[in-house]
Amino acid sequence: MGTSVLSLRIDHDLLERLRQHAAKRGMSVQDYVAQTLMRADFDERFQTAVEETEKFYGPATLT
């Protein structure tokens, strides 16, 4: 898998909050943002898979 560059323009306050969140995890801002985006993408794909499964099998029931 290759990599590409994404350039963002964000306001100063948001960048500072991102720096704080990244620092708490010992990460760079770039790594923190990339990890957050990957997690959100996974969550979205997982939810889509659940919805497709429910269409096929019906909603899950807990007993």
Question: Where do we find the tokens 């990339």?
Answer: 34
Evaluate whether residue 13 is within a structural domain: no
Structural domain total, the chain: 1
> Domain span at residue 45?
28-55
| Spatial distance between the Cα atoms of 49 and 19, rounded to a whole number of angstroms | 33
The more confidently predicted of residues 28 and 56 is 28
What average pLDDT does range 30-38 have in this prediction?
Answer: 93
**Which one-letter amino acid corresponds to residue 42?**
F
Evaluate whether residue 62 is within a structural domain: no
Q: Tell me the pTM.
A: 0.69
| Per-residue pLDDT, 20 | 97
Evaluate whether residue 20 is within a structural domain: no
pLDDT band at 63 (very low <50, low <70, confident <90, very high): low
Q: What are phi and psi of 13, to 5 degrees?
A: -60, -40
Q: What is the pLDDT of residues 13-23, one digit of tens each?
A: 999 999 999 99
Share of the chain above pLDDT 90, in %: 51
Evaluate whether residue 49 is within a structural domain: yes
| Per-residue pLDDT, 19 | 97
